[in-house]
A and B are shown apart, each in its own frame.
Chain A
Amino acid sequence: MKIAIASGKGGTGKTMVAANLAFTLSRDGQVTLVDCAVEEPNLHLFFPAPAVITEVTLPVPIIDENTCQHCGLCGEFCQYGAITVLPTRVLFFSELCHSCGGCMLACPNDAIHEEPKRIGTVAVSTPLPRLKHISGMLDTGNPHAVPVIRAAKKLAVGDPLVICDSAPGTSCPVVETLDGCDCCILVTESTPFGLHDLRLAVDVACRLGIPTGIVINRSDGKDEAILEFCRDHNLEVMLTIPFDRGIAAIQSRGNLLCEIQPTWQNEFNGLFMKCKALCKGER
């Protein structure tokens, strides 16, 4: 079973929910926690542990200027503007390259071959006996988040229970994270910004055909707007976490609410039960 945790608005508490859910469930069974927020992963703050790190690479074209006839076919083929063929040389912009391999096929002179270029890393660790933590990390300055997310998720294939912590927003990295998941938890806060971005995130999950449930975090008890939205869209609020200084203090120390206040494990186990029902379409 694969559960994605996304939000729309940033800073609502995805990582807090992901970390506490993973901690709680790992007490009873094997859990894999994947940090898919590869531009700025932060689950490692809650689960520090020595990790095995591997590189993530993408193939990029290398053009042999000696063999190149400057015919321009590779540049014409490239949809991303990554190759510019001038009369006497070829310019290549690696940050625009999407590694499709088309330029290599288009070249009539065998002047292009591919070499791997590093774009980031994936770290795997075991912070708790039944918790496997995979963290994708995109290299600073590199725009290709999606392949790093893919590499991280690949290491979780076949694992019985996988929790994917997503980046905020609704663009490609989020879609890549949600893709293939059995259900999605959207963490929101009861502010106008939270609701605005929640609408967008619900739309994405819906288009991807992923059953979705809501967690309201930092609730001040005045959640009417969010609750009305959920009613109108037949979305269940699966858990409400109050706006509480004590919880904030635990979080900001990098500690786990479910570890410091074990009664919260009941809440997160309840959240998991509702996710299972969501996956089975019992909503």
Chain B
Amino acid sequence: MKVCITSKGATLDSPTEERFGRAPYFIIVESEGGSFEALKNPYADGGGGVGPKAAQVLIAHEVKALISGQVGGNAREVLAAAGIAMYTYNAGGTVMDAFDQFAKNTLVRT
């Protein structure tokens, strides 16, 4: 299944990004096999209403789980309605580190 991790850069070694809606990149990792795709977030510099729009990017890419530091109220509502599970990661490590913790089931589902 596809898991999205908010990131400051375009690789698995990039530091994770705490924010969801204005994260510079969404790294989408396929949990079976570990292949990944880096999406540049078009709403990273958005003024307002970015939460729902960013959530729609994930929906369009068939993401089933999101790993991020903080997800705003509007984004949360859209993600929940779309059935996308949300997990909190704010250890400040890399995208790979966040995915590892998710795979080991050590992340808190929020």
Contacts and interface: CB of A to CB of B under 8 A. Distances in A.
A84 B48 contact: no
Interface stretch (A39-47, A89-97, A230-238, A251-259): A89-97
Contacts of A82: 49, 52
Interface stretch (B74-82, B88-96, B101-109): B74-82
A81 B82 contact: no
Interface in B40-56: 48-53, 55-56
Nearest to A85: B56
B81 A81 contact: no
B52 to A, nearest CB: 4
Label chain B's interface by main secondary structure: helix
Interface string A56-90: 00000000000000000001000011101010010
Nearest to A93: B74
17 contacts: A81-B48, A81-B49, A81-B50, A81-B51, A81-B52, A81-B53, A84-B52, A84-B56, A84-B78, A84-B81, A86-B59, A86-B82, A91-B52, A91-B81, A93-B74, A96-B48, A96-B74
A91 B77 contact: yes
Interface in A84-135: 84, 86, 89, 91, 93, 96
Nearest to A75: B56
Contact of A91 (B48, B50, B78): B78
A104 to B, nearest CB: 18
B63 to A, nearest CB: 14
Interface residues of B, number: 14
Interface of B: 48-53, 55-56, 59, 74, 77-78, 81-82
Nearest to B51: A81
Interface in A193-251: none
Label chain A's interface by main secondary structure: loop
Nearest to A97: B49
Contact of A93 (B49, B59, B82): B49
A50 to B, nearest CB: 39
Contacts of A89: 81
B81 A80 contact: no
B49 A96 contact: yes
Given A86-B59, A86-B81, 5 more contacts: A82-B49, A84-B56, A86-B82, A93-B49, A96-B49
A89 B53 CA distance: 16
A132 B46 CA distance: 42
Nearest to B56: A84
